Copies of this chain bind each other. A is one copy, B any other.
Amino acid sequence: MNEVIRTQLNHRTIRKFKTTPVGPELLELILDVANKTASAMCLQHFSILRITDPGLKSKIADISGQAYIADMPELFVFLVDLYRNSLIAKEAGLDTYLNSMHSFLSASSDALLAAQNVNLAAESLGMGGVFLGSPLWKIEEFIEVLDLPMYTFPILAYGFGYPDEEPRMKPRMAGEFKFFENKYPALNGIKDNLKDYDREMGTYVDLRNPGKPLRPFTEQVAQLSTLLNSKQPRMMEALKKQGFCVEDRD
């Protein structure tokens, strides 16, 4: 056990923040951490759009349907970014740059590794935050409101600041159901095998919402599946519109 792992194991989502701003030196440090994160072939296919304009933040809160976003001290949108290097390629006289689904996924990995590093850096500095999936849920709206160039794609957002709440950690499924050796197992009777976890999740109390206990995990899965299936965003269209090739080359 050490300070890094202690910080990692202590992760919890923070949605309510003190008004204390994040100082410029700490911001610079956090961005430096993002910059030093591993990147596939060091092509650095990601960018961060920091949202400071209150009007823009409000719009993002509206689009996301999460009012508290408007009050977040810091809001970073992580972009998959093949645009910057496509400009370099163009200046070098090349007609096209990488825009396949493979390049998109590889660039997503650059962006998301950096996102977790930013999250942990913030937590190590006594801050907390929340990853926002709303860029993907509202992909067309996000691309429009952020006025993003081709070959960029908002894959995840992260809001952070100094916590003004202290939630309990949400229980996770035991490792035996997630971490396997050499062969992915059959997972027969998974619902039954998750009984303990179901019970644990059912007794978890979110201190921000103490009157509303969570449903057992396997019930959440079924419920969310039904709820979310009908709300899937038009992801392929959005990818295509941003210039990513959504078909394999022959």
Contacts and interface: CB of A to CB of B under 8 A. Distances in A.
Given A1-B29, A92-B219, 4 more contacts: A79-B184, A81-B178, A84-B190, A103-B228
Contacts of A247: 236
Contacts of A178: 34-35, 44, 46-48, 81, 84
A192 B38 CA distance: 25
A232 B129 CA distance: 36
B232 A100 contact: yes
A136 B106 contact: yes
Contacts of A50: 179-182
Interface string A55-89: 01000000000000000000000010101110111
Contacts of A119: 38, 113
Interface string A11-47: 1010000000000000011011111111111111011
A168 interface: no
Contacts of A38: 11, 13, 116, 119, 131
Interface of A: 1-5, 7-9, 11, 13, 28-29, 31-44, 46-53, 56, 79, 81, 83-85, 87-89, 91-94, 96-98, 100-103, 105-106, 108-109, 112-117, 119-121, 123-125, 131, 133, 136-137, 139, 146-149, 152, 155-156, 169-170, 172-173, 175, 177-184, 187, 190-191, 194, 218-222, 224-226, 228-229, 232-237, 239, 246-249
Q: Can you tell how many copies of this chain the complex includes? A: 2
